[in-house]
Amino acid sequence: MQYAVQRDIYASPKKRTTTHTMPYQILRRVLCLPLLSLCLLTTDGALAGDKEPGPDATPASAARAVILIIGDGMDEQQITIARNYLHGASGRLLLDQMPLRSNSQILATEDNMSGRPVYVSDSANTATSMATGAVTSRKRIATSAGSDQDLETIVELAAQNGYRTGVVTTSSVTDATPAAFATHISHRLCENPDNMEEVSYLDIFLAACPADMKANGGKGSIAEQLVESPLDVILGGGSKHFAPMAEGANVSVLELARQLGFEVVVSREELVQAGSSGRLLGLFSRSTMPVRLQGENGRSAEEPEASALNHLHRYLGEVTLPEPMNCEPNRAAAAMPSLRMMTETALNRLSKDNPKGFFLMVESASIDKQSHERKPCGSIGELQQLEEALASALNHAQSHPNTLVLVTADHSQAAQLVPFESHYAEYPIPVYTPGKMARIRTPEGSLLAVNYATNSFSHEEHTGASVPLFSNEEGLGRVPAYITQPELFTIMRDYLGL
Amino acid sequence: MQYAVQRDIYASPKKRTTTHTMPYQILRRVLCLPLLSLCLLTTDGALAGDKEPGPDATPASAARAVILIIGDGMDEQQITIARNYLHGASGRLLLDQMPLRSNSQILATEDNMSGRPVYVSDSANTATSMATGAVTSRKRIATSAGSDQDLETIVELAAQNGYRTGVVTTSSVTDATPAAFATHISHRLCENPDNMEEVSYLDIFLAACPADMKANGGKGSIAEQLVESPLDVILGGGSKHFAPMAEGANVSVLELARQLGFEVVVSREELVQAGSSGRLLGLFSRSTMPVRLQGENGRSAEEPEASALNHLHRYLGEVTLPEPMNCEPNRAAAAMPSLRMMTETALNRLSKDNPKGFFLMVESASIDKQSHERKPCGSIGELQQLEEALASALNHAQSHPNTLVLVTADHSQAAQLVPFESHYAEYPIPVYTPGKMARIRTPEGSLLAVNYATNSFSHEEHTGASVPLFSNEEGLGRVPAYITQPELFTIMRDYLGL
């Protein structure tokens, strides 16, 4: 069975019968329930989350691999919006066909030693949880809250144990999610050597990482640490962070990468023509890679237009909701490699002539970034990109049996699927969202409305709901129905026997 | 193991090791992965969603039961908010300890025969999906979109096959969710005989069900249909809907219930003293039952207060966010039976001296209703009520092995867990929600902020995300990782062999 993100591979949701021969049916009836109990349950009735069967259960020559796919901000709202748009309300995403679905509770703390919980996270502390098993504070990259200690990552552990490692993303490769898998720094915005003493925007001070400078005994910026990390494959955007001179060196970070053995590619064509072994650094845009889909003529969610009378009282006057729109291809993305292409390049490179195995993190970053900017078409297209990368991962797992494929989100986001016409429309008053709204025509002929109303700023807030976690068959018996986000690290570490 | 909603029964999330003896470990290692594949997968790699093992696999004398627990509006945001408040961010709900977690896609259609999908649902069409396996339009109770045909419900099918049946809710028992399991009517608001020709509010026409009147060959109002249904147990609020005279009769609906064999109780004391067999109708409040928790001094979410300057431009002036508050007990609920008490009464009544088994629907209704009213403390308390009812159901299942316990939501809701201070607080401008916000002090000492911003009306809108679905061990191999909501009906029907 070849996985692909095409409508025709989706099984009908109504299909409930199978055509097994009788002995198979009898075998299942007689054996399965007791054996499922035995296999899935521990003696005290709790879910089996223990370590076995571990790598020692497989022949020493069999390679093992973990592919962790992160949909940044990909919560249930985002998934449902994408399902409805891409496949219709009754259709199925590839995610929906994964055999195991779990839920991951996000944990964060204040940046001090008291450890009081913070209920809404960012991509820095959440990626740190997944990469290291620790709970830390927002903005931190694989460093501890309050004490600023480096936290060992799954990439470092895997590399120490002879596994190859890679990160693939549609954001800058120096962005929080990929960074937390292989670098250690007190603030996510210290992405390149020129950002260490001050990061500011419109003269507003945002961050600084003086203690992380090499001159002060630190490990340098995220870009420098990435090229000095054990990573074999780094693919994504963010070339501008590799242009500055490496601290204390007379070469750029990019040149440093070449010196450290990276083959460097900067376009889709170069990616296609790249060699098939050795270290690979691909930087395909200055910062975040352009997204696949956009609203008609670049439209994003818009404020409903209230009449003058409505400004006097919310039950008076009238309101015009945003005109429905189509989603359309974003031409800026045409020259980019897809997330699928980058993922397949990474999988080939990491697995070729590799008897040990690998760890690969793949991120579809702009599900989140487009939601911050109130662009639902953008988020839908990037969730489609994640689906395609997942198809590649599942195909790889089919020809490489000891491959654990996990898909999850790092945190929830602002977008809400709301009625395209209020459920209170029978009342003769204007009813409308106080935030911004987009109404999208779906291919199946309905209108899908998305609301963004977490704040009054140019960018929406994250939200704090726990997030979905999916796994292929390798996760059965290993991934319980509910985990806290740091436990994902433990599951991956145990699978690789680290 | 006795299930109870108390902190001390929650297993440590960090607990990963077990103490099985060696033969058990070896058995699991050798047998489990291949057998799990055999049991969970069909030959084409799709998830096993077929009907076996069915009731024929159990001795004829063994009773079978389905307990379906519905948290109205209980989406991932609501669950996470309740988890953080009730047990702390690192704590676990009883829901989190269920061995199986799945996801249910909500389906609705326009009220015509063309069947164009509608992406946001209400409790009427969603309960209809679960009760009948059909997709219908909003407001409809077990009737078909466009054609207004009655759709047979799981309660009717179960009763025809000799099972006892019951519905328990914290709303009026005539409200959409319980109604859809045993009645058929074109509009959810036609709850009693006086509502059939017109339901209006402030002279605004909302609904009418003339074709459903008995005089016109229909089955009458929801209240009349409930007492004339096969239901053995009906517990909840809504006594006002049983006071009117039954259509064409010279007795009230309540008196009609007595004539039809219902023992009627109207207080917690009477519930405690009720007999233990026969039909039981309990009506403990005029409409929705009072909720357990409320905001300090009855506070709900409030609008941030912007200074005059901020009204000129959103980046000017300043904003005062709502003062943090505690949740406190709602004294109005003190005299009410808890959802747990009602559930246990129903379980005892339905299972006593019953070799066949039963179907019971239990709803915690005001997770949704309090969210409509922007009252996060109220939703938290009602999710706690659901947890307690779940503990009762799991205890019952432990002493009655062939009991499938399912927990799900009917649709998503407006509440969002947002940062208590904006993630953009470093910018020297006021950043705040355009909707309403509550900031709640949690028992673990942090602040939890909840945002409501779907509309400008007195009541928030539902949202359209797919919802969680949980099952006890009986669901393993029967409940796939993803379903559409109507498939829940099929799972329950097949389990009972209907």
pLDDT per residue as tens digits for the range A408-439:
999 999 999 999 989 998 888 999 999 999 99
Do B437 and B415 form a contact (C-beta atoms < 8 A)?
no
Q: Which residues of B touch A17 (CB under 8 A)?
A: 50-51
pLDDT at A322: 96
Residue of B36, B89, B482 with shortest CB distance to A39: B36
pLDDT at A73: 98
Do A392 and A347 form a contact (C-beta atoms < 8 A)?
yes
Distance CA A174, CA A187 (A): 12
pLDDT at B2: 65
Place of tokens 């689906």: A387
* CA A355 vs CA A62, A350, B486: distances in Å: 6, 10, 47
Distance CA A182, CA A493 (A): 15
Distance CA B383, CA B370 (A): 11
The overall longest dimension of chain A from CA atoms, in Å, is: 76
* CA A216 vs CA A151, A196, A272: distances in Å: 19, 11, 41
pLDDT at A2: 65
Residue of A102, A122, A490 with shortest CB distance to B423: A122
Catalytic entry in A102, A121, A123, A221: A123
What's chain B's average pLDDT?
Answer: 90
Q: What is the pLDDT of residues A299-330, one digit of tens each?
A: 999 999 999 998 888 888 999 999 999 999 99
Do B418 and A118 form a contact (C-beta atoms < 8 A)?
no
Q: Where are the alpha helices (DSSP H) in A52-180?
A: 76-87, 123-132, 154-160, 176-179
Which chain B residue's Cα is nearest to A467?
A: B76
Put simply, whether A51 touches B (Cβ < 8 Å) is yes
A52-83+97-292+331-411+468-496: CATH number: 3.40.720.10
Q: For residue A488, is pLDDT > 60?
A: yes
Q: What is the pLDDT of residues A31-51, one digit of tens each?
A: 444 444 444 433 333 333 333
Put simply, whether A122 touches B (Cβ < 8 Å) is yes
Å between A248 CA and nearest CA of chain B: 31
User: Which of B410, B408, B412 minimizes the C-alpha distance to B479?
Assistant: B408
User: Which of A338, A410, A368, A400 minimizes the C-alpha distance to A67?
Assistant: A400
Query: Cα(first)–Cα(last) distance of chain A, in Å?
Result: 31
* Helix axes of B339-351 and B376-399: crossing angle, nearest 10 degrees: 30
Q: Show the CA angle centred on residue B386, arms to residues B382 and B387, nearest 5°.
A: 115
Segments in chain B below pLDDT 70: 1-2, 4-61
Place of tokens 């204007």: A430
Specify whether A123 is catalytic.
yes
Phi and psi at residue A41, in whole multiples of 5°? -110, 145
CB contact under 8 A, A490 and B454: no
DSSP B211: G
CB contact under 8 A, B418 and A117: no
Å between B272 CA and nearest CA of chain A: 32
DSSP assignment of A223-273: HHHHHHSS-SEEEEE-GGGGSSBPTTSSSBHHHHHHHTTEEEE-SHHHHHH
Burial class (CB in 10 A: 0-12, 13-18, 19+), B88: middle
CB contact under 8 A, A119 and B448: yes
Put simply, whether A119 touches B (Cβ < 8 Å) is yes
Mutate to test the interface with A, among B94, B205, B461, B483 (most CBs of A within 10 A): B461
Q: Which residues does B43 contact at the CB level (< 8 Å), separation at least 6? A: A18, A20, A24
Å between B301 CA and nearest CA of chain A: 14
Percent of chain A with pLDDT over 90: 83
Residue of A90, A414, A424 with shortest CB distance to B459: A424
Distance CA A404, CA A472 (A): 7
Place of tokens 């902020």: B449
pLDDT at A51: 35
Mutate to test the interface with B, among A199, A305, A455 (most CBs of B within 10 A): A455
Put simply, whether A417 touches B (Cβ < 8 Å) is yes
pLDDT at A312: 86
Residues of B tagged active-site: 123
User: Which of B388, B390, B398 minimizes the C-alpha distance to B2?
Assistant: B398
Cβ neighbours around A68 below 10 Å, total:
24
* CA A410 vs CA A26, A368, A488, B417: distances in Å: 42, 10, 11, 15
Place of tokens 């429905």: A324
Put simply, whether B490 touches A (Cβ < 8 Å) is yes
Å between A269 CA and nearest CA of chain B: 36
Residue of B88, B435, B476 with shortest CB distance to A36: B476
Q: What is the pLDDT of residues B187-238, one digit of tens each?
A: 999 999 999 999 999 889 999 999 999 999 999 999 999 999 999 999 999 9
Do B153 and B132 form a contact (C-beta atoms < 8 A)?
yes
DSSP H or E run through A195: none
Map B68-86 to HEC letters. Answer: EEEECCCCHHHHHHHHHHH
Distance CA A166, CA A173 (A): 11
Burial class (CB in 10 A: 0-12, 13-18, 19+), B66: buried
CB contact under 8 A, B481 and A98: yes
Residues 431-450 of A with CB under 8 A from B: 431-435, 444-446, 448-449
Mutate to test the interface with A, among B95, B105, B201 (most CBs of A within 10 A): B105
Q: Which residues of A touch B457 (CB under 8 A)?
A: 422, 424, 427, 429, 431
Distance CA B225, CA B254 (A): 12
3-state secondary structure of B95: helix
pLDDT at B1: 57
Put simply, whether B234 touches A (Cβ < 8 Å) is no
What's chain A's average pLDDT?
Answer: 90
User: Which of A402, A372, A392, A375 minimizes the C-alpha distance to A462?
Assistant: A372
pLDDT at B410: 98
CB contact under 8 A, A41 and B446: no
Name residue A302's amino acid. Answer: E
Cα dihedral value B201, B203, B207, B212, nearest 10? 110
CB contact under 8 A, B423 and A116: no
For range A348-365, the mean pLDDT: 97
ipTM: 0.90
Q: Which residues of A touch B26 (CB under 8 A)?
A: none
Distance CA A435, CA B192 (A): 38
Do B342 and B263 form a contact (C-beta atoms < 8 A)?
no
State the fold for domain B55-292+330-414+454-496.
Answer: Alkaline Phosphatase, subunit A (3.40.720)
Do A154 and A492 form a contact (C-beta atoms < 8 A)?
yes
Cβ neighbours around B28 below 10 Å, total:
23
Beta bridge partners of B285: none
Put simply, whether A463 touches B (Cβ < 8 Å) is yes
pLDDT at B479: 98
Distance CA A370, CA A460 (A): 10
Q: Which residues of A touch B35 (CB under 8 A)?
A: 31-32, 35, 39
Å between B96 CA and nearest CA of chain A: 6
Name residue B342's amino acid. Answer: M
Distance CA A63, CA A163 (A): 9
Put simply, whether A429 touches B (Cβ < 8 Å) is yes
